[in-house]
């Protein structure tokens, strides 16, 4: 199902209290979009929009934007809707200790990512749960709204204690501008699977393909300068993906030469993909759906009094910087004055 503005109305939001927990990338854009949508629809009795944030710079920004700012527990007490828009690794502790216990029965919790719902990290019994998950960074959510274009978005209902959750989720999605480009119905499970699969299977395969291609061609005499320009500095890969979105994943091949079209089609159709298929299946079924990845991530993150991931990422960046690609690129960028 693809939901469009005609499938929703703002009236279910009449006189409700809507709390945005957090005022970062997504929260600020969505709160501003909602306020603008309501301002241009004065026929409904405007809901109250509140922001909950720690007292710091985001708190200041929310006040400068003209919102009332409150604490998480206090804000949750009177809220009919809570947009839970803090980082996914922070949300369980914050929600389970301060927000959830203070919500009234039948309130609606809206997440922007399926992760904590699919892995049951939020204690959400007795409340409605919906997902409005923009497929775009917060800055894009705001700029596309202002340009009247809308942004790609997934929506779902995950808990429907009240029986009215879908109507409310669509109403809120309409308000934040998530229906203008057509919102795709997609469950928290599928959103989590696709998101983590892209991060742990598709992009790593691309990173490895580039890294190994670099070493293979370097051994055959190609220079760092030529390789870096040929492979990505020219922005050709970015343009190809742009054409995939505009013209279609396969149809965009027609922009390439006949030599290139034949090379790409015949090789991709003829490749032995058994190892890749096994790797993909393992990532999807064991690491993501089987929960191996979240356990590993949480265990690492909990080490060293909660900053284990920071340390682990430092180690991983250090390891990634030793490849021929990384060393070659560093040299080229320095010589070209790009860094
Ligand atoms: P941000 O990192 O921008 O969120 C920052 C907000 O969270 C700030 O208000 C910050 O307040 C608050 N926060 C951070 N740590 C804590 C804490 N320990 N206790 C209380 N508040 C805290 O988040 P995003 O907007 O990036 O992500 C929000 C949700 O949107 C996530 O579920 C994410 O997966 C989803 N999403 C994000 C996208 C993106 O492009 N970023 C795209 C689509 C979905 P403070 O100033 O006090 O630190």
The CATH number assigned to the domain holding 14 equals 3.40.50.720
41 and 173 part of one domain: yes
CA of 94 to the centre of ligand 1 (A): 12
CB of residue 23 inside a 6 A radius of ligand 1: yes
Same domain, yes or no: 92 and 127: yes
Q: Return d(Cα 240, Cα 206) in angstroms, integer.
A: 14
Percent of the chain at pLDDT exceeding 90: 94
94 shares its domain with 235: no
The pTM score is 0.91
Integer Cα distance of 304 and 102 in angstroms: 31
| Phi–psi pair at 154, nearest 5 degrees | -105, 140
- Is the Cβ atom of 85 under 6 angstroms away from ligand 1? yes
What whole-number distance in Å separates Cα of residue 262 and Cα of residue 259?
Answer: 5
140 lines ligand 1 (CB under 6 A): no
**35-63 pLDDT per residue, tens:** 999 999 988 888 999 999 999 889 999 99
What pLDDT is recorded for position 83? Answer: 98
Pair (268, 131) in one structural domain: no
Question: How many domains does the chain fold into?
Answer: 2
Task: Count the neighbouring beta carbons within 10 Å of the beta carbon of residue 176.
Answer: 28
Residue whose CA is closest, atom 26 of ligand 1?
A: 25
Of 167, 186, 205, the residue at which a domain comes to its end is 186
Reported as a single tens digit per residue, the pLDDT across 240-294 is: 999 999 999 999 999 999 999 999 999 999 999 999 999 999 999 999 999 999 9
Residue 292 sits in the same domain as residue 234 = yes
For ligand 1, atom 16, the nearest C-alpha belongs to 90
Query: In degrees rounded to 5, what are phi and psi of residue 147?
Result: -80, -5
**Buried b / exposed e along 312-325 (16+ C-beta atoms within 10 A):** eeeeeeeeeeebbb
The range of the structural domain enclosing residue 175 comes to 2-186
DSSP 104: P
Same domain, 249 and 299: yes
Q: Are residues 96 and 118 in the same domain?
A: yes
Q: Which of 87, 144, 191 to mutate to test the pocket of ligand 1 (most atoms within 8 A of CB)?
A: 87
> Does residue 29 line the site of ligand 1, with CB under 6 A?
no
Strands 128-134, 108-111: pairing kind:
parallel
**What confidence tens digit (pLDDT) does each residue in 169-215 have?**
999 999 999 999 999 999 999 999 999 999 999 999 999 999 999 99
Please give the ipTM for the structure prediction: 0.98
107 Cβ partners below 8 Å, 6+ apart?
A: 79, 80, 81, 82, 127, 128
- Shared-domain flag, residues 266 and 246: yes
Digit-coded pLDDT (tens) for 138-159: 999 999 999 999 999 999 999 9
Check whether residue 210 and residue 313 sit in a common domain: yes
Of 131, 154, 186, the residue at which a domain comes to its end is: 186
Tell me, in angstroms, the distance from the centre of ligand 1 to residue 244's CA: 30
Asked if 56 and 81 touch (Cβ cutoff 8 Å), the reply is no
Which among 157, 186, 215 is the end of a domain? 186
């Amino acid at each position: 199902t693809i939901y469009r503005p005609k499938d929703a109305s703002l009236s279910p939001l009449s006189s409700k209290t809507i709390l945005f927990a957090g005022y970062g990338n997504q929260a600020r854009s969505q709160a501003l979009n909602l306020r603008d949508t309501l301002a241009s629809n004065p026929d409904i009795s405007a809901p109250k929009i509140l922001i909950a944030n720690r007292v710091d710079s985001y708190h200041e920004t929310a006040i400068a934007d003209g919102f009332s700012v409150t604490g998480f527990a206090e804000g949750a007490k009177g809220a009919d809707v809570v947009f839970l828009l803090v980082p996914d690794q922070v949300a369980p502790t914050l929600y389970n200790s301060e927000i959830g216990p203070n919500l009234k029965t039948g309130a609606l919790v809206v997440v922007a990512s399926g992760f904590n719902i699919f892995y049951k990290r939020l204690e959400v019994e007795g409340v409605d749960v919906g997902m409005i998950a923009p497929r775009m960074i917060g800055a894009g959510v705001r700029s596309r709204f202002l340009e009247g274009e809308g942004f790609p978005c997934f929506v779902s209902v995950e808990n429907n204690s009240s029986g009215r959750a879908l109507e409310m989720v669509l109403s809120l999605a309409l308000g934040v501008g998530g229906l203008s480009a057509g919102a795709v119905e997609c469950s928290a499970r599928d959103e989590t699977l696709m998101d983590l699969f892209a991060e742990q299977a598709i992009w790593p395969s691309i990173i490895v393909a580039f890294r190994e291609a670099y070493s293979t061609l370097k051994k055959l005499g190609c220079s760092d300068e030529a390789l870096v320009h040929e492979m990505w500095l020219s922005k050709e890969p970015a343009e190809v993906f742009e054409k995939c979105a505009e013209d279609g994943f396969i149809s965009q091949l027609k922009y390439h030469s006949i030599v290139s079209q034949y090379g790409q089609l015949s090789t991709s159709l003829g490749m032995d993909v058994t190892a890749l298929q096994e790797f993909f299946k393992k990532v999807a079924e064991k690491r993501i759906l089987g929960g191996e990845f979240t356990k590993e991530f949480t265990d690492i993150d909990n080490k060293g009094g909660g900053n284990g991931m920071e340390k682990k990422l430092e180690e991983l960046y250090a390891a990634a910087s030793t490849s021929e690609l990384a060393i070659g690129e560093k040299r080229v960028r320095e010589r070209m004055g790009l860094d």
